[in-house]
Homo-oligomer: A and B are copies of this chain.
Amino acid sequence: MEGRDNITGGNSFPLLLLFHHLMPMYEIFFQKLREKVNLSTDEEELIKQHLTPKKLRKRQYLLQEGDVCKFIAFVEKGALRSYSVDEKGVERIIQFALEGWTISDLYSFLTSEPATYNIDALEDSELLLIGKAAHEELLATLPKYETWMRLQITGAYIAMQRRLTSIISLSLEERYASFTSIYPQIVQRVPQHMIASYMGLTPETLSRVRKKMTGK
């Protein structure tokens, strides 16, 4: 401890600036967290100690089908997707996650059953992982963490219910219009054939839907 302080000359500012690109980033995580629960500095520190920073290169796996999912991943930077692969090798995208979003195979995480989804990076990404032990310890010791978790899952549930409702209620044109207005970022950063997969369509069909819409 003292040794480290000595190296930075007591005031760590110069080093922080120099190695800024090497420092794990927590900004978006705590910003999101503070939107939902009020935390003391000590409580923030406690949570920070339970987070594991991880960087991922584009195309790198975070989770592969068959492995047990041992974390919930918060995206500080970059873009990821979760997806399954059917017998024919066709990928079905379940979820995208950009900055500020959380991604995991929750069922596998909670039950320790093998994961049914893959998760990989669509761009170079920086993540904060909450491992299973950390998750359980935080649940047991910090009620505000449980509150935050409850609110996170509630939000995810409501978002998914909207997605499901739009699938069974809307025309393709309406669904794509709704998607682009809710997730303009994803439209800009993700290839269209992946958006088609997310919508349960072939790339050709999505291309034709888009053509019709610009025509009008």
- Chain A residues proximal to chain B, CB less than 8 Å: 84, 86, 92, 94, 106-107, 110, 143, 146-147, 149-150, 153-154, 156-158, 160-161, 163-165, 167-169, 197-200
Chain B residue nearest to A163 in the complex (CB): B164
Q: In the complex, A94→B163 CA distance in Å?
A: 11
Of the A-B pairs whose beta carbons lie under 8 Å apart in the complex, a sample of 16, sorted by A's number, is A84-B165, A92-B165, A92-B168, A92-B169, A94-B161, A94-B164, A107-B158, A110-B154, A143-B146, A146-B147, A153-B154, A153-B157, A163-B164, A164-B167, A168-B197, A168-B198
Chain B hits for A199, CB < 8 A: 168
Chain B hits for A92, CB < 8 A: 165, 168-169
Chain B hits for A200, CB < 8 A: 167-169
Closest 10 CB pairs of A and B: A168-B200, A150-B150, A157-B157, A92-B169, A107-B158, A153-B153, A160-B160, A153-B154, A92-B168, A164-B164
Chain B residue nearest to A170 in the complex (CB): B86
Q: In the complex, A146→B156 CA distance in Å?
A: 17
The answer to whether B106 and A157 have CB atoms under 8 Å apart is yes
Chain B hits for A164, CB < 8 A: 94, 160, 163-164, 167
Shortest A154–chain B CB gap in Å is: 5
Q: In the complex, A94→B157 CA distance in Å?
A: 13
Q: In the complex, A86→B171 CA distance in Å?
A: 12
Chain B residue nearest to A161 in the complex (CB): B160
Chain B hits for A157, CB < 8 A: 106, 153, 156-157, 160
Q: In the complex, A208→B197 CA distance in Å?
A: 27
Chain B hits for A149, CB < 8 A: 150
